[in-house]
């Protein structure tokens, strides 16, 4: 498996990573189901460091940075891994890469990430990488239920390059 910069040629494969309304809500709450290449193009124009995880020429994961405040912070966004590859370290690799890009390319002093309260695997991943909650925002999911969007941050001083932010 490798990580590389996403290109327009990857957009169709990225869109296919989020087939359901609920998955799209978790990955890109502002997106409209079904997720389209046009939405992906608009997302690409407003994000930084679009990155794909590739296994045998197939896109199996995606992430990027947004709301980058050079020298201050950057948010990791749109983290998604193909169902058949979840639980195998792809998400950790993508998030670690985004963290490193935020610190190295933008001089961020902290990296932020947001996750919905019902996304236990992502919550545990981010907590295991030393992200800590700093705020909770109420949202409404596609079914109309109230959910919490946890905002988490990882300060540069807490990040271990050797340990990739994990315990």
Q: pLDDT grade, residue 162 (50/70/90)?
A: very low
Average pLDDT over residues 67-74: 98
Q: Write out the residue range of the structural domain in which residue 6 sits.
A: 2-158
Residue at 14 is within a domain: yes
Alpha helices of 28-140 — where are they, by DSSP H? Answer: 37-46, 90-106, 120-128
Residue 68 lies in a domain: yes
* Domain CATH code at residue 18: 3.40.630.30
Q: How far apart, in whole angstroms, are the C-alpha atoms of residue 129 and residue 69? A: 22
Asked if residue 166 belongs to a domain, the reply is: no
Residue 105 forms part of a structural domain = yes
67 or 162, greater pLDDT? 67
Enter the pTM of the model.
0.94
* Strand, helix or coil for residue 119: coil
On the question of pLDDT at 63 being above 70, the answer is yes
Asked whether residue 150 is assigned to any structural domain, the reply reads: yes
Report residue 19's pLDDT band, with 50, 70 and 90 as the boundaries: very high
The 10s digit of each residue's pLDDT in 118-152 is: 999 999 999 999 999 999 999 999 999 999 999 99
- The residues facing 116 across adjacent strands are 149
**Whether residue 7 has a cis bond before it, omega within 30° of 0:** no
Binned at pLDDT 50, 70 and 90, residue 161 comes out as low
Pull the structure tokens for residue 118. Answer: 């019902």
The structural domain count of the chain equals 1
3-state DSSP assignment of residue 47: coil
Distance CA 81, CA 116 (A): 16
Residue 157: pLDDT over 50: yes
Task: Fill in the DSSP letter of residue 35.
Answer: P
167, part of any domain: no
The answer to whether residue 34 sits within a structural domain is yes
Is residue 163 included in any domain, yes or no?
no
pLDDT at 160: 65
What is the per-residue pLDDT for 167? 47
């Amino acid at each position: 498996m490798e990580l590389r910069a996403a290109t327009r040629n990857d957009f169709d494969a990225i869109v296919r990573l989020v087939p359901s309304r609920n998955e799209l809500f978790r990955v890109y709450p502002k997106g409209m189901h079904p997720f389209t290449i046009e939405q992906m193009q608009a997302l690409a124009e407003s994000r930084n460091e679009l990155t794909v995880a590739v296994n045998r020429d197939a896109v199996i994961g995606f992430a990027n940075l947004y709301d980058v405040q050079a020298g201050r912070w950057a948010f990791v966004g749109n983290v998604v891994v193909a169902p058949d590859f979840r639980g195998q370290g792809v998400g950790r690799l993508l998030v670690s890469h985004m963290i490193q890009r935020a610190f190295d390319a933008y001089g961020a002093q902290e990296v932020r990430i947001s996750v919905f309260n019902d996304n236990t695997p992502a919550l545990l991943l981010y907590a295991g990488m030393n992200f800590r909650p700093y705020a909770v925002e109420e949202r409404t999911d596609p079914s109309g239920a109230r959910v919490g969007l946890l905002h988490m941050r990882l300060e540069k001083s807490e990040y271990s390059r050797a340990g990739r932010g994990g315990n």
